[in-house]
Amino acid sequence: MRDSYRVPVRDVLEVGGLLKSRILAGQGGQGRTITTVSIVEAPDVLDWVRPHTFVMTGGFPLRHLDPTGGLSTAGLCRFLSQLDDLEVAGLGVQFGTHLDELPPEVLELADELEFPIVSLPADVPFDQLFSQMMVDVAGVQNDVLQRTYELHALLEGLLLEGADVQRIAEQIASVLALGVLVTSVDGRQMAAVMTEEMRAELAEADLYDETGRFRVERIRTPAQTAGGGQLVAEPIVAAGNDLARLVAFAPEHAIGEDVRYALQRAASLLALQITQRQALNVVENKYRGDFLRDVLSGRSKNREHAEVYAVGLGWRLDMPCIVVAAQIDPQDPREEPASTRVRRAWQSRFHLAWTQVVGRESPAYPVADFGDEVVVILSLPEGREDLAAEPAAAVAELQQMVERIVRSVSGDRGGGRRPFSVGTSRLVRGFEQLPAAYQQARRATEVGRRFTGGSSTSHFDNLGIHRLIGLIPDIDELTVFAQDILGELAEETAQATELRTTLQVLLDHNLNVAEASRELLMHYNTMRYRIGKLEKILGPFTTDANLRLNVAVALEVHKIQQ
């Protein structure tokens, strides 16, 4: 039978004629599933027993596992191991004339294998036990089918009504009596139906990072929790695209195969809803992106028209503000190059993450996907409009907001999240300044990545000399400048690298030879020798202030271009 029709041992023992039964050993195996029941009256049972069969027997076949007719502990242990290898659901034993009890070694092995051994009522004939158990199994299966059908019908109705992911999750949780999360592939919550107790237990199991991301990558198979419950994460997939995860949590028991089947059906319907939502988002995001591009490129020159259009999209273009540009960092050369389809999936998740996190600050902040970057316009939060008259305080407030957003989007970098770099503009006080601010944010992202190697947040106002360097569009001219000033120090050799390090430390210490020597753990005379060597290459930078300035700028240009 299919997995969905398998009935856990615990469910069968809780109904009908087996209520008087008790588990002697193998308590941990109550989640094993049953598809049929068999009575064993001869010791050659292994020739025909099938997986997921619950075997019922008496003392006579077990005693005669040994041809001499004596009770063999070794034979019983071997028999139990063979049943376990065949994926038998459990063994029910009716004690009586031929067998009063099982040896302790057999019960210990059952506990170790988590193989249920059940003591059957001695006052009920085998044929009656058999028929009652078959009725019970059929009854549970019927309940499972009915529940799955009801869930499927409910979800189909919700889809036709245009229900969102949250309403669908609520129905799944209600019908299956489970805690439910729907998350993105990297664990960002899309919908949740969880009690505070459930959340606390999952948090105690370290399944949330500090930003609230659910660590869905840790639930690759059904996972037990400390409280004896179980977690299952079903992938939500459509047309080969990995869309999301449906996470189910039973805090006090294992999740049976029947429930997992119902979750798989629910995941299929969720895939339809998410795909439909994504199709609508593509259209909406195009309009949003096109509008914001027009504003940030300077093509939209009418402020009043732009503000009215923004309100129609649910946005506000309040001043003062800053522009934020975020880009996924290039792949490490050691990584296998990702396909276009994979990179698009990364960008889509990246945009979704920024949209959700920025939306928690305020849904009125414009957020758009420009294909290779996500662009945001952040204005002062409600209640802090008084900072508009204090530029320094306004910038500090907005930069703190950016740091919060970046932390939340980054999380612990789990779930397949890609590293990214962020740049922010200067404070914008007028609508006409937005195009320049956008260029500043992009330049801050680019310069910050070049200078740090990636995973950076750079504010245009804090770039220092890099801010001026970043404004020079001709990269080749910068390269020529650095090479002209540094000469052979611009080469990528071990000697040139060592001399550049010495030169940088000297400049950092205002040419104080003693302090530079101490930092480099170098003898004073060795440092004097190196200074002489540097002056032969660069000229008298220790006495010529203009030359020293050129050398310092050239070093910064070289660092950025490495």
The DSSP call for residue 214 is B
Quote the tokens at residue 309: 């259009």
Identify the pLDDT of residue 260: 81
Q: For the segment 203-259, what is each residue's pLDDT rounded down to a tens digit? A: 888 888 887 889 888 887 776 665 668 899 999 988 778 889 999 999 887 787 778
Q: For the segment 391-418, what is each residue's pLDDT rounded down to a tens digit? A: 999 999 999 999 999 998 988 777 678 8
Identify the pLDDT of residue 557: 83
Report whether 57 contacts 39 (CB < 8 A): yes
**Backbone angle region of 212, left / alpha / beta, with phi > 0 → left and psi within -120 to 50 → alpha:** left
Looking at the predicted structure, is the pLDDT value of residue 18 above 80?
no
What count of other Cβ atoms lies within 10 Å of the Cβ of residue 480? 11
Arithmetic mean of pLDDT, 51-67: 80
Residue 267, C-beta contacts closer than 8 angstroms, at least 6 positions apart: 234, 235, 236, 237, 246
Report whether 79 contacts 22 (CB < 8 A): no
Looking at the predicted structure, is the pLDDT value of residue 4 above 60?
no
Instruction: Please state, in angstroms and rounded to a whole number, the distance separating the CA atoms of residues 83 and 92.
Output: 12
Looking at the predicted structure, is the pLDDT value of residue 2 above 50?
no
Residue 62, C-beta contacts closer than 8 angstroms, at least 6 positions apart: 43, 71, 76, 79, 93, 98, 99
Q: In angstroms, how far apart are the furthest CA atoms of the chain?
A: 110
Looking at the predicted structure, is the pLDDT value of residue 69 above 60?
no
Residue with the two structure tokens 């220790």? 542
pTM (whole model) above 0.75: no
Provide the pLDDT confidence category of residue 120 given band limits of 50, 70 and 90.
confident
Provide the pLDDT confidence category of residue 1 given band limits of 50, 70 and 90.
very low
ω before 320 within 30° of 0 (cis)? yes
Identify the pLDDT of residue 269: 84
Provide the pLDDT confidence category of residue 422 given band limits of 50, 70 and 90.
very high
Q: For the segment 511-534, what is each residue's pLDDT rounded down to a tens digit? A: 999 999 999 999 989 989 999 999
Arithmetic mean of pLDDT, 359-363: 91
Q: For the segment 304-314, what is each residue's pLDDT rounded down to a tens digit? A: 999 999 999 89
Residue with the two structure tokens 């039973």? 250
Quote the tokens at residue 18: 């087996």
Quote the tokens at residue 78: 């071997």
Ranked by mean pLDDT, the top range of 342-351, 429-438, 545-554 is: 429-438
Identify the pLDDT of residue 538: 92
Report whether 232 contacts 260 (CB < 8 A): yes
Quote the tokens at residue 72: 């063999």
Residue 343, C-beta contacts closer than 8 angstroms, at least 6 positions apart: none
Among residues 244, 474, 425, which one has the least CA distance to residue 326?
425
Report whether 56 contacts 92 (CB < 8 A): yes
Report whether 34 contacts 52 (CB < 8 A): yes
Instruction: Please state, in angstroms and rounded to a whole number, the distance separating the CA atoms of residues 62 and 59.
Output: 5
Identify the pLDDT of residue 471: 65
Instruction: Please state, in angstroms and rounded to a whole number, the distance separating the CA atoms of residues 469 and 465.
Output: 6
Among residues 365, 354, 350, which one has the least CA distance to residue 313?
365
Q: For the segment 257-312, what is each residue's pLDDT rounded down to a tens digit? A: 778 878 888 888 888 888 888 888 888 888 899 999 999 999 988 899 999 999 99
